[in-house]
Amino acid sequence: MRGSEKQSLQEYFDTVKNLANATPVDLSESSIQKEARIKKLEADPEAWFKYYFPKYATSEPADFHKEATKRVLNHPEWYEVRNWSRELAKSTRTMMEVLYLTLTKKKFNCLIISNSQDNAQRLLLPYQINLENNKRIINDYGEQKSIGTWETGEFVTAAGAAFRALGAGQSPRGTRNEAIRPDIILFDDLDTDEDCRNPDIIDKRWEWVSEAVIPTRSISNPLLVIWCGNIIAEDCCVVRAKEYADHVDVVNIRDAEGKSSWAAKNSEADIDRVLSLISYAAQQKEYFNNPMATGKTFPEITWGKCPPLHSLPLVITYADPATSNKDKPGQKSNLANSRKAVFTVGSDGHKFYIYTGFLDVMSNANFIASLYACRTYINAAARVPSLRGGSVATNEATSKRTPAYYYIENNTLQDPFYTQVLLPLIYSHAADIKQPVLPITPDPRKKDDKWFRIEAMLEPLNRTGRLVFNIDEMHNPHMERLATQFKSAKPTSKQLDGPDAIEGAIFLLQNKLQTIQAGTIKIINKPKTTKNHF
């Protein structure tokens, strides 16, 4: 036996031992008490989960867990897609639901399907271990292990429930439990990163799902279909399944308010720690159901040295408080705690330089603090060399000050935010930090389609190397997010907040630069002469 096999076997024995220790039973309980207890537990699935699976149910479930269970248990014929982030227990929750249905004899034949046979067997193993070694299940529902039909990847319990693991592409035909065709089909991580890079594989796999797997069902017997998997590509099987689902449940590691969607298990500090160890693109794919594959419009970006701010004719800090309602038909933007962008951009008349900025889910207070942080950055950077060495602050006496403007997007959908929320916060923040009030101007421009504007304005600049990201800020996580949003940008992208803010800044810069240039044009009138030298 190889070392890896010995390790796997030891892990199996450890799991069995821990499970047995975690599920003690009361042997002094009378048959009447036992029957009453079981009946009470079965009437309350959440209590049932906690009692039979204490090893798994270690944290209080979130509301989305409970609502999902109600849907599944109350609808014998049901098709659900669960796009739950990593660390939200989608496979574990589903396992407890399936075992509830099979042990209470509501369902009898379960297929578990994954991207490979090995992975499907790995997913089925906890079912088998619990049915074989969970003392509470055995005590209340009897011995589950049957003789002759108890193998890895396929088994039938003594109570008559069948389980089978299938890898993608394997034939499910003939899958029966006596006369019962599959009445539960679970798809768990059917998509892989490598497969999603090949559209032909996705097409072939979806054809297999729709023409081979689903038709194994009985027309007259209700079927439960559950897809477990976060969205790792714009086109993958779990995305295609949404078209057929009775319910699609998208739950990210953080909710719309930017808070942990399962606070009982995942603390804010723990989430921050995990996200800090991976790239922004990986965060979006694995924890926010937002795959950010490289787009074709901005395949590369330019990191370069930016000129000193004091050498530029002007600099603009542009702030985008939230996603526009136009991007979410029928929904109201949550300006209080949403993705916001604040970036400082300058130009020498030819190139446009992104000096620094902020791009993140942030509260209104942090949004205001970001604006003030950009002003601090500008004031610190706008220092000119002193004749005696060192530097002196730019002021009226020592040098011409580079004009710095501050703008905030303020279309008709966001106007109440500017007047009722932003301005009071600006005055309050200025008083708290004892600084002058930020001179910010609303940008009321009526904007065209977001993608059209970004592509038309920024693609030519980026392609010709005239859009430069400050290389000194290359490791700033906010600048990294901006770069990722640019590189993954496409018409269907969900997150274009950063590029949208840059487009706003450059639009204003170009207009102001044209005004400056127009104001410096001098018309020289030659003196009149009456002499004709020819």
Q: DSSP 3-state assignment of 338?
A: strand
Mean pLDDT to the nearest integer, 152-181: 87
- Reply yes or no on whether the pLDDT at 530 is more than 50: no
Q: Is the pLDDT of residue 216 over 90?
A: yes
Q: Which residues pair with 407 in a beta bridge?
A: 318, 441
More confident site: 334 or 376: 376
- Name residue, tokens 């708290």: 432
pTM listed for this prediction: 0.70
Per-residue pLDDT at 401 exceeds 90: no
Q: Residue 391: what pLDDT?
A: 39
Burial (CB count <10 Å: 0-12, 13-18, 19+), residue 340: buried
Residues 6+ apart with CB under 8 A from 12: 129
Structure tokens belonging to residue 120: 């499907």
Separation of alpha carbons 278 and 462, rounded Å: 26
Integer CA distances (angstroms), 279 to 48, 274, 468, 516, in order:
39, 10, 21, 41
Could you give the CA distance from residue 474 to residue 15 in angstroms, rounded to a whole number? 45
CA neighbours within 13 Å on the CB side: how many for 299? 2
Non-local CB neighbours of 341 within 8 Å, separated by 6+ positions: 319, 320, 357, 358, 359, 482, 497, 498, 500, 501
Burial status of residue 333 (CB atoms within 10 A of its CB: 0-12, 13-18, 19 or more): middle
User: Which residue is it, tokens 């979130």?
Assistant: 62
Q: Please report, for the chain, how many H helices and E strands are present, in that order.
A: 18, 17
Give the model's pLDDT for residue 276. 85
- pLDDT score of 201: 93
**Which whole-number Å values give the CA distances from 519 to 310, 336, 522, 524, in the listed order?**
20, 41, 8, 14
- Judge contact between 182 and 222, C-beta under 8 A: no
Nearest 5 degrees, angle CA 262-CA 264-CA 269? Answer: 80
Residue 100: strand, helix, or coil: helix
Question: Which of 273, 227, 211 shows the shortest CA–CA distance to 113?
Answer: 227
pLDDT above 50 (res 327): no
Question: Which residue intervals of 104-150 are DSSP H helices?
Answer: 117-133, 135-141
- Residue 508 has which token pair? 């204003």
CB count within 10 Å of CB 181 equals: 19
Q: How far apart are the first and last CA of the chain?
A: 108
Band (400; pLDDT cuts 50, 70, 90):
low
For residues 496 and 87, what is the distance between their CA atoms, to the nearest angstrom?
Answer: 26
Of 139-153, 369-383, 518-532, where does mean pLDDT reach its minimum? Answer: 518-532
Percent of all residues in the chain with a pLDDT value above 90, rounded to a whole number: 57
pLDDT at 497 over 70: yes
Give every strand in the sheet of 150-151, ordered side by side. Answer: 150-151, 154-156, 162-167, 109-114, 184-188, 224-228, 78-84, 247-251
Q: Does residue 533 surpass a pLDDT of 60?
A: no
Q: How confident is the model at residue 28 (pLDDT cuts 50, 70, 90)?
A: confident
Provide the CA 339 distance to its chain's centre, in angstroms.
12
Dig out the tokens for 355 from the structure: 């000096």
Helix (H, G, I), strand (E, B) or coil at 42: helix
Q: What is the pLDDT of residue 61?
A: 96
User: What would the mean pLDDT of 314-323 be, rounded to a whole number?
Assistant: 86
Window from 81-95, 346-360, 384-398 with minimum mean pLDDT: 384-398
Alpha-carbon gap, residue 203 to 206, rounded angstroms: 5
Of the candidate ranges 26-30, 354-358, 463-467, the one whose mean pLDDT is the lowest: 26-30
How far apart are alpha carbons 167 and 188 in whole angstroms? 10
CA triplet 514, 519, 521: central angle to 5 degrees?
100
Asked if 92 and 69 touch (Cβ cutoff 8 Å), the reply is: no
Mean pLDDT across 449-465: 90
Q: DSSP characters for 208-225?
A: HIIIIIGGGS-SSS--EE
Are the C-beta atoms of residues 229 and 191 closer than 8 Å to each other? yes
| 281/310 Cα distance (integer angstroms) | 34
More confident residue, 364 or 293: 364
Q: Is the pLDDT of residue 351 over 90?
A: yes
- Residue 22: its pLDDT value, please? 65
**Cα gap 204→226, rounded to integer Å:** 20
| β 154-156/162-167 pair status | antiparallel
The token duo for 465 is 């190397």
Q: What mean pLDDT value characterizes the chain?
A: 85
Task: Report all structural domains of the chain as residue ranges with CATH numbers, in order of start.
Answer: 3-276 (3.40.50.300), 302-518 (3.30.420)
Q: How many Cβ atoms are within 10 Å of 116's Cβ, its own excluded? A: 17
